[in-house]
A and B are shown apart, each in its own frame.
Chain A
Amino acid sequence: QLYYQVLNFAMIVSSALMIWKGLIVVTGSESPIVVVLSGSMEPAFHRGDLLFLTNFHGDPIRAGEIVVFKVEGRDIPIVHRVIKVHEKGNGNIKFLTKGDNNDVDDRGLYKEGQNWLEKKDVVGRARGFLPYVGMVTIVMNDYPKFKYALLAVMGAYVLLKRES
């Protein structure tokens, strides 16, 4: 019976993983679902909102689009709007971003000496969003005790299920 329980659990985990990996392939983005971490895009997006991204190879980067990017060397994805685009004939693009709620553009956020972002910095373009739903991950990040409590509850559930 334990064997069955473990197998069941493993199936659930691997299904979740498959769905996530499938989403990555279908959207072309390494992180197709992101949580908004700051208020720099208010009033459109607030901390805790969930964004759905795509990053199709042929998609051009155009002024007005909301992109999620990572500054080279940093892990945190930033969700801001493209305000300037300069594209060469060969497809080489450089662009500048700014948060709707910020007074200045993002040059202060880029790497030292970096004035523009490039396609390789883009995680994806925001195509859709759901409000509030991402709050769970923020809470879990800010209050790790909550995360452990949640895991403990899930673990207890799996074990107790066996008894009945």
Chain B
Amino acid sequence: LRKNVEDFTGPRERSDLGFVTFDITADILNGKNAFPAIFDWNVKQLFLYLSAEYSTKNNALNQVVLWDKIMLRGDNPRLSLKDMKSKYFFFDDGNGLKGNRNITLTLSWNVVPNAGILPLVTGSGHVSVPFPDTYETTKSY
């Protein structure tokens, strides 16, 4: 599971807005994440999501889902996404993104069975991303 990112921040009113682009390479089916048979007879779909977790002065814990995807049983279990932009706006509750050195991006998924328990699983790979100290005013997104 690998992610590479590039990023910059922009102020919007009074909250920081972060922009992240990422690549995701994941092979859900085979071994690397120790889930060789994740798509068994009782799994209807996986709800995958990439979330950014970080701390700020305002809030001890922040989690923002940047991107998600539904993978139905029968879909290609290998993900190879490059240069993806986040699906949802990465707003902070305040100005905690500027200069924040430690934003952790993790890929997780919700296993939705045909019937039964709904577990939430976190992937084993995660990437730490630092945001720059200044706001970007020239790049268009």
Contacts and interface: CB of A to CB of B under 8 A. Distances in A.
Interface residues of A, number: 25
A87 B91 CA distance: 14
Contacts, number: 74
Contacts of B112: 44-45
A131 B114 contact: yes
Given A85-B62, A128-B117, 9 more contacts: A63-B65, A64-B51, A65-B120, A81-B47, A87-B62, A88-B60, A100-B68, A126-B118, A131-B115
13 contacts: A63-B63, A63-B65, A64-B108, A65-B120, A81-B110, A84-B91, A86-B93, A87-B59, A88-B59, A100-B68, A127-B118, A129-B116, A131-B114
Contacts of A126: 118
Give the dominant DSSP class at B's interface.
strand
A58 interface: no
Contact of B45 (A44, A84, A88): A44
A66 interface: yes
Contact of A43 (B44, B61, B68, B120): B44
A88 B82 CA distance: 34
Nearest to A85: B63
A84 B60 contact: no
- What are the 9 A-B residue pairs with the smallest beta carbon separation, nearest first? A63-B63, A89-B60, A87-B61, A83-B65, A85-B63, A86-B93, A44-B112, A128-B117, A86-B59
Interface of A: 43-45, 62-66, 81, 83-89, 94, 100, 105, 126-131
A83 B64 contact: yes
B75 to A, nearest CB: 11
A128 B62 CA distance: 26
